[in-house]
Structure 1
Amino acid sequence: MLAIAIWGFVEPYILDVEEEEAAITNLPSEMEGKKIAVIGDFQIGLWLDNVWTVEKAVEDVIDMDPAAILITGDYVYHVDNMDDPEIAEVMEVMRPLAESGIPVYSVLGNHDYAMSSQDVEPNTELAEGLATELSSLGIMVLDNKNEILLEGVNTDLYVVGLGSHWAGNDLANKAFEGVPEEAPRMVLMHNPDSFKTLAGGVSPVAVAGHTHGGQIRVPFTETWSYLNLLQSGEVTTDGWIKEDYGSAGNSLYVNRGIGMSITPMRINAVPEITVFTLINKD
C-alpha cells in the first residue's frame, strides 16, 4: 500500500500519448491522414499540481505539429476571480500554444466556472473573463459555437464546441447552428454527460475530458475507480465509450487529461495526450 501511495505522486509526471483513428463521415480525401491533438484538464492551482506536465504536454503537441489542437477545458482548479495568480499562470503556460501557429480550439469546464460540485452556483463572470483572456492569446473558446477546423477543396471540416454541462450551458442546438447537414465534423465538450444530449448521427467523433481517467483506479479492473464512489449511474472513465452510451451514430472518446482533483495523485490513470488520425467513415 505504501508503494502504491508513493507511486500515486509519481504517475502525474508521466505523459502518455494515445494514437487513435477518428472516423468521420464525409471527410474529404485531402484531409485523410491529418492529425488532431487533444489535451486538457490542467487544474492549475491544486496543491502540488503538475504544471510541469502541462508544460511538457504543450511542448510535445507543438513538436508534433498537428493540423489543429483541441483543449477539453478545466484550466484552473479553484479560482474566485480573474485577479487570482493562477489565471496569469495559465496564460503563461498556454502562450507557446498560441504562438505556435497551430490552430487551437477549446471549451471551458466546470472548474472554469468555479464549480467544484454540481450544486455550486456557476461563476459566469469568471468563465467569461477566462474565455476573453484565452481568446486574446489566440486560443478560440467555443462556447456553444462552431468553427471550420480544416478547410477543404469542396467541403470543410467543422469543430463544434459545447458549453459546460454542470453550468447548464451545453446547448447543442445553438452549438450546431450554421453547420451544413452533410458537413464532416468533430464535437468538443468537457463533460462526457453532454454527449448524451446529442441527437443521433450528428457526432461521428466527439471528444471529452473531465474524468481524469478515474484518477485513482483499481489495478486489474477495467474501469473501477474512485468515481464509482462519488457518483451514481454509469461511469465513463477514458478511451472509446461503448456504443450504447449515447444516441445511434455517435461516438465518444474520453481523454484522461493531465491535472487532478481533490488530491494530487494518479494511480493507473496516466496523464494523456490523444492524437487522432483522420480517416473517412464509410
Structure 2
Amino acid sequence: MRKAGYFLLALLCGVIIYGSVVEPRYRLHEKPVEAELPGLPRGWDGRQIALLADFQIGMWAGNTGVIRDAVDRAIRDSVSLALIAGDFVYKPDSSRVRRAVDIIRPLVDAGIPTVAVLGNHDYSLAHNTPKRIDQYAAYLEARLEGIGATVLQNEATPVTAGDDSLWVVGVGSVWAELADVDMAMESLPEGAPRIWLMHNAEAFREIPAEQAHLAFAGHTHGGQVRLIPGRQNSWLDIVRKGEIIGHGWAADSLGAAPNRIYINRGIGFSTIPMRINCRPELTKITLRRSDDVVPTRGPDESDLMGS
C-alpha cells in the first residue's frame, strides 16, 4: 500500500514538472496550416503568415523565452506577415507593456509587417476583474505603433506583397465591449481580399456569411490542460462551461457558412502556469488562391448581421 502511495506521489510530481516546465517551455509547436482564400492576389499565393497569441507577459512563472523563440522562428522563415491575436500582458503595467513590445520588436526590425489586436487581459479584464481599464491598453497600442506595428480596432488595413494588397480586418475586444464587426467592415473596400483577426472567436459569430472565408483568433489557450491527447477537451471545459475553448479550425456551426476561423492555442498561461497535451503554438499559415469569387458586401448585409 505504501509503495502504491509513493508511486502515485512520484507520478503526480512528474505530471507537475512536465506540465509546468517541459511542455510549455521546451515544446513549442510550429504548426503548419494551409488555407484557401477566394480572390487571393497572385502575389500572395503561397506566402506564409505567422500567427501568435496570448503571451500573457507578467503572469507568475511566465513564458517569455518561448515567445522569443516563436518570434525568432518567424523571422528565420521570412514570413510575409505576422499576426498577433492579443493578450500581450497578463496584468498590465508600464514595465510589462514595454517588455511585450521589446519581444516583438525584432519582427518589425526584420521588415515583417506586423498587425495586432488587443485582448481582454490588455484591458485588465479577467473573470475576477470585470471593470475595463483603458490606460495601459492605450499605452500598449501607442508603444506598438511606435515601433512600426499596426494595431487594429474595428478597422482594416492593407498589407502589400509586390504590387498586390491583402487586407487585414481587426476586431476589438469582446470582453472590453469594443467589438464592432459593422464598423470593421466600413473601412474595407468592396471586393477586397481579406483575412480577419480577433482575440476572442465570439466576435466571429457576428460576421455575415461570405465575408470571412479566413479568420484567426486566440484567447482560449486550447484549454491549456487537455484531459485526453488529441481531443477537444480540457479542464476549462469543466470550470468555464459555455465558452469557446477549442483550438485549430473551429466547427462550421460557430459562424455563418462558409466563413471559417482558426483558433491558435497561444503561448503563455492563464490562472495556472501549466500546459498538458496543449503545447504553445506558433501557427504558420500558407495561403493558397481559391477559384471562388471574392466576397463582396451585399445590400442585405444588415439583415445578415441580425440573423
1:197-276 correspondence to structure 2 within 5 Å: 197-220=206-229, 222-233=231-242, 235-276=244-285
CA contact (8 A) 2:98 2:143 kept: no
Aligned counterpart for 1:99 among listed residues 105, 109, 113: 109
In the other structure, the counterpart of 2:17 is 6
Distance 1:114 1:224, change over 3 A: same
Distance 1:232 1:62, change over 3 A: same
Distance 1:220 1:69, change over 3 A: closer
Distance 1:132 1:244, change over 3 A: same
1:34-49 correspondence to structure 2 within 5 Å: 34-49=47-62
Larger helix share, 1 or 2: 2
Whole-angstrom CA distance in 2 between matches of 1:119 and 1:111: 10
Q: Which moved more, 1:135-144 or 1:119-128?
A: 119-128
Distance 1:118 1:68, change over 3 A: farther
Consecutive unaligned residues of structure 2, counting only runs of 5 or more, are: 1-11, 292-307
CA contact (8 A) 1:192 1:236 kept: no
CA contact (8 A) 1:73 1:108 kept: yes
Whole-angstrom CA distance in 2 between matches of 1:237 and 1:118: 22
Whole-angstrom CA distance in 2 between matches of 1:264 and 1:119: 19
CA contact (8 A) 1:28 1:152 kept: no
Q: Structure 1 residue 151: deviation in Å?
A: 4.8
1:54-69 correspondence to structure 2 within 5 Å: 54-69=67-82
Bigger Rg, which one: 2
Whole-angstrom CA distance in 1 between matches of 2:51 and 2:230: 25
1:4-153 correspondence to structure 2 within 5 Å: 4-9=15-20, 10-13=22-25, 14-79=27-92, 81-82=93-94, 85-117=95-127, 120-151=130-161, 153=163
Q: Structure 1 residue 149: deviation in Å?
A: 2.2
Counterpart residue type for residue 132 of structure 2:
P
CA RMSD of aligned residues (A): 1.6
Paired residue secondary structure (1:280): strand
Distance 1:221 1:21, change over 3 A: closer
Percent identical: 38
Counterpart residue type for residue 12 of structure 1:
P
What TM-score do the two structures reach when normalised by structure 1? 0.94
What TM-score do the two structures reach when normalised by structure 2? 0.86
Consecutive unaligned residues of structure 1, counting only runs of 5 or more, are: none
1:148-227 correspondence to structure 2 within 5 Å: 148-151=158-161, 153=163, 156-220=165-229, 222-227=231-236
Deviations 1:173-224 (A, max 9, x none): 1111131232211000000111111111110110000011110111246111
Q: Which moved more, 1:217-226 or 1:52-61?
A: 217-226
Q: Structure 1 residue 127: deviation in Å?
A: 1.0
Whole-angstrom CA distance in 2 between matches of 1:201 and 1:150: 23
Whole-angstrom CA distance in 2 between matches of 1:36 and 1:145: 20
Counterpart residue type for residue 15 of structure 2:
I
CA contact (8 A) 1:164 1:170 kept: yes
CA contact (8 A) 2:43 2:161 kept: no
Deviations 1:70-112 (A, max 9, x none): 0011010012x43xx2122212212212211110000000000
CA contact (8 A) 2:48 2:287 kept: yes
Q: Structure 1 residue 119: deviation in Å?
A: 6.0
Q: Structure 1 residue 118: deviation in Å?
A: 7.7
Paired residue secondary structure (2:186): coil
Whole-angstrom CA distance in 1 between matches of 2:286 and 2:75: 16
Counterpart residue type for residue 2 of structure 1:
C
